[in-house]
Amino acid sequence: GFHIPFVHNDLNDVLDYGNYETVLSEFCNLQIGYAEGTDEVFELPEDHVDYGKDVAAYYFWVFPNMMFNFYPWGVSVNLVQPLEISRTKVSFLSYVYDASKLNKGAGTGLHKVEMEDEAVVESVNRGIRSKYYQAGRFSPTREKGVHHFHTLLARFLNGEVESK
C-alpha cells in the first residue's frame, strides 16, 4: 500500500489511504482498501467481519506468487512467474461478476493500475542494481506485506520451512 499515493493517482483518489489495512497470516496477507467518500463498495452481510465498513477492495497475496484482487465488480488474478534471475512475467486475469460496477470505485482503470505497477517495479529494480543503492528499513505501518514476503522468502531459501 505504501506506493499508492505516489504511483496510482486515480486509485488514491478513491481509497482512504490513512485507513489502508494489512492483515498478515502465515503464508498470505490481506490488504483492505477502504473507500474515500461514496465510491463503489462491497455490500457485506451483517455477520461479516467488515460489515458497516466502506470496503472498496480486498487484495489477497499468497506466497510466493499469486494475488487475488476482489472488487465489487469481480476479481483480478495476478500470477507472477520468475523466468530468469532478473526477468519475470506477470499474467493479469480478470473475471467480471457485475459489469455495471466496472468503471466505479477502486477497480476503475485496472489495466492502467497494472501498468503503473509494472513500471514502478521495473524502476525499483533498476535502482536496486545501481551502485548508489543502500538497503534501508521497511516502514512498519506501510510495508508490512513486503516485509512479510521477504521474511517468508528468506525462511524458504534457508530451509527453515518444511514442506508438508
pLDDT tens, 93-134? 999 999 999 888 888 888 888 888 888 888 878 888 888 888
According to the model, what pLDDT value does residue 56 have?
Answer: 94
Residue appearing with cell numbers 505516489: 6
Helix and strand tally (H, E) in the chain?
Answer: 4, 6
pLDDT tens, 17-72? 889 899 999 999 999 999 987 678 999 999 999 999 999 999 999 999 999 999 99
More confidently predicted of 25 and 138:
25
pTM of the model: 0.88
Q: Which residues of 64-98 are buried (b: 16+ CB within 10 A; e: fewer)?
A: eeebebbbbbbbbebeeeeeeeeeeeeebebeeee
Residue 12 pLDDT exceeds 80: no
More confidently predicted of 99 and 2:
99
The Cα–Cα gap between 30 and 61 comes to 6
Fold for domain 4-157? Answer: Naphthalene 1,2-dioxygenase Alpha Subunit; Chain A, domain 1 (3.90.380)
According to the model, what pLDDT value does residue 61 have?
Answer: 96
